[in-house]
Amino acid sequence: MTVKRLMLVCVMILCLVPVNVKGDAVMKDFHYEQYEELYFKMIERYPDPENAAFFLYPAAGRALFVVLIFDMEIQNGGLAQFFWNCGESYAKLLPDALRSTGLSDVADLYESFLRDNAITLDIIASFRERAPGFVESYEWYDYDTFDDAYMRIWEETDINQRFIDYSDHHPEIWDTP
């Protein structure tokens, strides 16, 4: 297991109990045990998108993998956490992955944030040019608005169930090379 993957597992363990926009723990009605099982199964089988082998895996699986990592980062520390931990490869793949997995509303929210903040996916460094550190980035970007909107969508639409349904409808995601 690579150090990066091990770090992702550790981060996921830190956020095993999802919270709502008010900061209250929410376990019931969010199918969390199934979500957790799906998440761990995906990170165990799929390589990082920075690895060329990632693109040998089924498209549906690649999309779900990217979206699960995104969701985990949002649950753990918000959009800022996603940008700082995942970087350019994930950021570029995310809009299409969100749409592929039925989360067009989240893709629109993400693209709006990028547009409003003049962040380009071709050069994620545009994000870091203004703010060389995680904490400093909060001076430049309104993450809270994005994070709150995402969590409202997450609660209203049971995104965990969407992930589970998507994996059920795409059994080819387990046909890994």
Q: Domain extents for the chain?
A: 39-45+58-172
**Calpha distance 114→88 (Å, rounded):** 13
Q: How many helical (H) and strand (E) elements, i.e. helices and strands, does the chain have?
A: 9, 0
Assign 143 a pLDDT band (cuts: 50, 70, 90). Answer: confident
- pLDDT tens per residue across span 79-137: 988 887 887 889 899 999 999 999 999 999 999 998 998 877 765 656 666 666 666 66
Residue 25: strand pairing partners: 19
Instruction: State the average pLDDT over residues 133-149.
Output: 79
- pLDDT tens per residue across span 5-58: 544 444 444 444 454 444 444 444 456 788 889 999 999 999 999 899 999 999
CA 137 vs CA 80, 81, 83, 94: distances in Å: 8, 10, 10, 20
Identify the CA nearest to 74 among candidates 131, 140, 6, 18. Answer: 18
Specify the DSSP element, H or E, that contains 155: helix 143-157
SS3 at position 19 = strand
- Check residue 127 and give its pLDDT: 62
pTM of the shown model: 0.78
